[in-house]
């Protein structure tokens, strides 16, 4: 490990290296990820997770998982469980260092008592409205509370009675005694405790006063021995307050460093908005494959490695930037291309009959499982005289440069044979119901028998062996790049894409897909990356979700830029 700060590092790692070099924390690096258990994690949280766990790992340090469960009315055990599951799924491990802010409620209370004893905290009996009004504004200094100079003994007694439940909600609160004229509003005698006669999902009815987030967060970092507390930019203005509390208490001082939130095009990441989509039925739950939640992405077929690679690649910044979701999809494709087995699936089938195929003959052909991974081997795929191909792969009036099926045009069936369509059969409405073709037996395996070339290769499945399945073709949830920009209220919902889910029943699947485990990922050749649905796929009922189409708009953009 180097001790000299290296300048090709992002600003957080540079600061960590400076602290290591100066011995500020004795070379120790200890971070934490502090979710509030009031919703499911999304890809923005993934960035924070990769950063805090990543920095700790790179410097031989530790990273804690801490639930900031200071708000009893919004938090639930369901979220606590789901968040742990998601962090593990992303590939990170907090060992035995699972903490809850609520584990520290007594210690926080004792520390509050110490501040009262020092004369730097007081019980305020103004109404919540008065407190709000007297706080002033950015331009107007606040006004001191008439209760600000209560004697210490009276404050101690009132605080004790608050805790004992003697007062109603809103009757009084505990505030830090800092400076009502401070230019930073967070320093204008911030509230430390408020009365909430609510049951907490972990501490039950033990408490009827709960610490404010700002009173809890910095001390929890300190109690856990955190060295580098990495958080998003909105906490920058809170840092002086956290530092003030720590200094007043004279306890271990972590160092907070802020970075910009992740934002993505075509995506909303606010928990409140995501909850709305779930509640109004726009999506089918938190794990809907269109949701940017880790649950949704997992069900969609995202790999943890792809999300980590994306987070690594974008790095961190001090200013808000919006990343192109196509970049995330690019990392997803890169990973899936390396790792997913190939299969053949016909999404919109039309029958192709080989008139010269020996009756009853089944030819077991070898198909390569993954051209990117020779270790993945081959599988047998049955070929017969009655096949399904994509309706869209045939043209009656083919345009110039059409390399797929057309009357008289020879085409390769992947891993199969060269075939030539001779005639088509239509129903009364003029819709094609069958393509009749001949094949060249010498082209078995898809190899040219005599050096003659075909330009097109298409996928197929044997009709009698095919498995019927449902394909859910997912696309981006929003139709515009910036759904929340320049709209008011519910306006962002007008940007929901109408076709973010198209269900295709009656797809014809290669028989080996019958046994796919839920969550198994594949590339359906020429069609896209798909995953066996985690909820609905099962024996006798194949359901596959489209993870992402094959076309990589990001790679094309990069290639264009490289050419320019």
Q: How far is CA 455 from the centre of its chain?
A: 40
The H-assigned helical ranges of 141-270 are 152-164, 213-223, 239-249
Tell me if residue 551 is catalytic. no
The span from the CA of 547 to the CA of 530, in Å, is 5
| 199: Cα within 13 Å, side-chain hemisphere | 4
Give contact residues for ligand ATP (rule: CB under 6 A): 34-36, 44-45, 47-48, 231-232, 261-262, 269-271
Which one of the listed residues 271, 295, 308, 343 is annotated catalytic? Answer: 271
- Nearest-approach distance from CB 541 to ligand ATP, in angstroms: 36
- Nearest-approach distance from CB 295 to ligand ATP, in angstroms: 15
* Closest C-alpha to 14, from 228, 235, 242, 226: 228
- Nearest-approach distance from CB 342 to ligand ATP, in angstroms: 35
- Residue 229 or residue 512: which is nearer to ligand ATP going by CB? 229
- Nearest-approach distance from CB 52 to ligand ATP, in angstroms: 8
- Nearest-approach distance from CB 67 to ligand ATP, in angstroms: 9
Burial (CB count within 10 angstroms: exposed 0-12, middle 13-18, buried 19+), residue 238: buried
The span from the CA of 479 to the CA of 497, in Å, is 4
- Write phi, then psi, for 529 (nearest 5 degrees): -90, 135
The first and second tokens of residue 237, run together, are: 């203005």
Which one of the listed residues 15, 36, 157, 372 is annotated catalytic? Answer: 36
Which one of the listed residues 148, 261, 318, 404 is annotated catalytic? Answer: 261
- Residue 35 or residue 190: which is nearer to ligand ATP going by CB? 35
- Residue 51 or residue 176: which is nearer to ligand ATP going by CB? 51
Per-position DSSP letters for 330-398, written without gaps between them:
HHHHHHHHHHPPEE-EESSEEEEEETTSPTT--EEEEEES-TT-GGG-EEEEEE-SEEEEEGGGB-SSP
- Nearest-approach distance from CB 489 to ligand ATP, in angstroms: 18
Q: How far is CA 528 from CA 64, 301, 447, 544, in A?
A: 38, 12, 25, 11
Residue at shortest CB range from ligand ATP: 44
- Residue 48 or residue 411: which is nearer to ligand ATP going by CB? 48
CA trace torsion 296, 300, 305, 309 (10° rounding): -80
- Residue 294 or residue 365: which is nearer to ligand ATP going by CB? 294
Tell me if residue 143 is catalytic. no
At how many degrees (to 10) do helices 304-314 and 325-339 cross?
A: 140
Tell me if residue 261 is catalytic. yes
- Residue 37 or residue 61: which is nearer to ligand ATP going by CB? 37
User: Annotated active-site positions, please?
Assistant: 36, 261, 271
């Amino acid at each position: 490990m180097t001790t000299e700060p290296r300048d090709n590092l992002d600003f957080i790692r540079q600061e960590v290296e400076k602290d290591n070099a100066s011995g500020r924390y004795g070379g120790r690096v200890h971070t934490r990820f502090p979710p509030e258990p009031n919703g499911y994690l999304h890809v923005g949280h993934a960035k924070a997770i990769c950063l805090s766990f990543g920095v700790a790992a790179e410097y031989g340090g530790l990273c804690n998982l801490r639930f900031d469960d200071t708000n009893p009315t919004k938090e639930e055990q369901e979220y606590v469980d789901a968040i742990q599951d998601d962090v593990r799924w992303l590939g990170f491990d907090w060992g035995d260092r699972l903490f809850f802010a609520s584990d520290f409620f007594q210690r926080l209370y004792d520390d509050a008592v110490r501040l009262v004893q020092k004369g730097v905290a007081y019980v305020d009996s103004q109404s919540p409205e008065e407190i709000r009004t007297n706080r002033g504004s950015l331009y107007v200094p606040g006004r001191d509370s008439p209760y600000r100079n209560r004697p210490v003994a009276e404050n101690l007694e009132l605080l004790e009675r608050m805790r004992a439940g003697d007062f109603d909600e809103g009757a009084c609160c505990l505030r830090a005694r800092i400076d009502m004229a401070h230019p930073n509003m967070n320093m204008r005698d911030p509230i430390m405790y408020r009365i909430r006669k609510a049951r907490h999902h972990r501490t039950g009815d033990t408490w009827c006063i709960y610490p404010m987030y700002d009173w809890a967060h910095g001390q929890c970092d300190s109690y856990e021995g955190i060295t580098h507390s990495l958080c998003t930019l909105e906490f920058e203005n809170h840092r002086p307050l956290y530092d003030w509390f720590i200094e007043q208490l004279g306890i271990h001082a972590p160092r907070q460093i802020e970075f910009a939130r992740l934002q993505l095009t075509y995506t909303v990441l606010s928990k409140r908005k995501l909850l709305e989509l779930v509640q109004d039925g726009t999506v089918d739950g938190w794990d809907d494959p269109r949701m940017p939640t880790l649950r949704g992405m997992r069900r969609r077929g995202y790999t943890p490695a792809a999300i980590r690679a994306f987070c690594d690649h974008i790095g961190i910044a001090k200013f808000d930037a919006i990343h192109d979701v196509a970049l995330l999809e690019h990392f997803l494709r890169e990973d899936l291309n390396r790792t997913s087995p190939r299969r053949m699936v016909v999404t919109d089938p039309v029958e192709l009959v080989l008139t010269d195929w020996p009756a009853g003959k089944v030819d077991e052909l070898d198909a390569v499982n993954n051209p990117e991974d020779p270790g993945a081997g081959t599988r047998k795929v049955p070929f017969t005289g009655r096949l399904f191909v994509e309706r869209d792969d045939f043209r009656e009036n083919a345009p110039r440069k059409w390399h797929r099926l057309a009357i008289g045009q020879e085409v390769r069936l992947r891993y199969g044979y060269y075939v030539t369509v001779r005639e088509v059969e239509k129903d009364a409405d003029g819709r094609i119901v069958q393509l009749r073709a001949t094949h060249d037996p010498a082209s078995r395996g898809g190899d040219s028998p005599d050096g003659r070339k075909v330009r097109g290769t298409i996928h197929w499945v044997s009709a009698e062996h095919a498995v019927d399945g449902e394909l859910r073709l997912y696309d981006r949830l929003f139709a515009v790049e910036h759904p929340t920009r320049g709209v008011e209220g519910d306006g962002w919902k007008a940007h929901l894409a109408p076709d973010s889910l198209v269900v295709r029943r009656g797809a014809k699947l290669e028989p080996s897909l019958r046994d796919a485990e839920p969550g198994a990922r594949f590339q359906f050749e020429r069609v896209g990356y798909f995953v066996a649905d985690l909820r609905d796929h099962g024996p006798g009922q194949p359901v596959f979700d489209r993870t992402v189409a094959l076309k990589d708009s990001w790679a094309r953009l990069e290639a264009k830029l490289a050419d320019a």
